[in-house]
């Protein structure tokens, strides 16, 4: 079975658009967990465009109280700034069950690539060690095309998270592009698993494209899903939407 971690960034986008506290990120996370989600993901960004440090702390308390996985995603190389203590400092403060390192910058609309392990491996090694010393499982955001998962394993990572944005784009095209993407992601998961890494997946996964992905890519341990899920929940509600994703994860 694949675990579902719901990313609640988008609830914070809506809240921040007006200031104040509504919609409430913690209340939304509770609704997802009550529906059976296995965990909660957030990806705080240094510009605080959505999730802020106080959300990270509040969701840490919630996930700890509920005994579910907390997956904190972020760029470990982004320097601290006012209101953002840095990814490692946040992890020290809340000790998430899983820390997912993502090589993205403020200028990006959203995450759009994984690590270049041949280039970044040695810089990642001490960060992975520090996070593991805090008790976090460490996952590294990775492109399906990477031929260097062995380096991710060698620097101590437990898992990779396959960046599924390109898969979602190919799924929308269907036909040969979809078949090629499915083969590419299947081969990527197999290469990672062959060097001892667990495989997570995320970005732009949706009710439309998730089933084909999970049916083809072997042993995906966790998917983290936010943008599509929160959008779909506007029509159907969080409870029903999360339950539909869970059914897809368990199929």
Ligand X SMILES: NCC(=O)COP(=O)(O)O
Considering CB distances under 5 to 8 angstroms, the limit depending on partner class, which of ligand DXP, ligand X, none binds residue 225?
Answer: ligand X
Distances from the Cα of 8 to the Cα of 49, 71, 151, angstroms = 13, 11, 31
CB of 246 to ligand X, least distance (A): 15
Q: Is 141 in the site for ligand DXP (CB under 6 A)?
A: yes
Out of 102, 192, 199, 210, point to the residue binding ligand DXP (CB under 6 A).
102
For residues 30 to 59, the per-residue mask of contacts with ligand DXP, x marking binding by CB under 6 A and - elsewhere, is -------------x-x--------------
Q: Which of residues 151-180 bind ligand DXP (CB under 6 A)?
A: none
Asked if residue 75 belongs to a known ligand binding site, the reply is: no
Out of 39, 88, 202, 213, point to the residue binding ligand X (CB under 6 A).
202
In the DSSP assignment, the letter for residue 107 is: T
Contact call for residues 85 and 72 (beta carbons, < 8 A): no
Catalytic residue among 43, 161, 222, 232: 43
Q: Which of residues 65-124 bind ligand X (CB under 6 A)?
A: 73
| Cβ contacts of 95 within 8 Å, gap of 6 or more | 60, 134, 135, 136
Query: Is 38 one of the annotated active-site residues of the chain?
Result: no
Query: Is 113 one of the annotated active-site residues of the chain?
Result: no
Query: Is 43 one of the annotated active-site residues of the chain?
Result: yes
Q: Is 226 in the site for ligand X (CB under 6 A)?
A: yes
Token pair for residue 145?
């095309």
What contacts 24+ positions apart, CB below 8 Å, involve 189-192? 189/162, 189/217, 189/218, 189/219, 189/220, 190/218, 191/147, 191/149, 192/142, 192/149, 192/152, 192/160, 192/162
Annotated active-site positions, please? 43, 73, 203
């Amino acid at each position: 079975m694949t675990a579902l971690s719901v990313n609640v960034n988008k609830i914070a986008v809506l809240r921040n658009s007006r200031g104040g506290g509504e919609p409430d990120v913690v209340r939304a996370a509770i609704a997802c967990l009550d529906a059976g989600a296995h965990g909660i993901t957030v990806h705080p960004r240094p510009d605080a465009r959505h999730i802020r440090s106080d959300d990270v702390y509040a969701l840490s308390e919630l996930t700890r109280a509920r005994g579910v996985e907390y997956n904190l995603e972020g760029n470990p190389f982004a320097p601290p700034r006012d209101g953002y203590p840095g990814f490692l400092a946040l992890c020290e403060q809340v000790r998430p069950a899983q820390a997912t390192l993502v090589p993205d910058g403020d200028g990006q609309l959203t995450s759009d690539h994984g690590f270049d392990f041949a280039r970044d491996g040695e810089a990642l090694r001490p960060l992975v060690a520090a996070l593991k010393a805090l008790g976090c499982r460490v996952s590294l955001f990775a492109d399906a095309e990477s031929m260097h998962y062995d380096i991710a394993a060698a620097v101590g990572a437990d898992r990779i998270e396959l960046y599924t944005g390109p898969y979602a784009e190919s799924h929308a095209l269907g036909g040969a592009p979809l078949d090629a993407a499915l083969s590419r992601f299947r081969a990527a998961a197999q290469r990672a698993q062959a060097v001892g890494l667990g495989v997570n997946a995320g970005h732009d996964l949706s009710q439309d494209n998730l089933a084909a992905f999970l049916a083809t890519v072997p042993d995906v341990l966790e998917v983290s899903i936010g943008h599509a899920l929160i959008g779909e929940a506007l029509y159907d509600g969080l409870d029903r939407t999360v339950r539909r994703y869970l059914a897809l994860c368990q199929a």
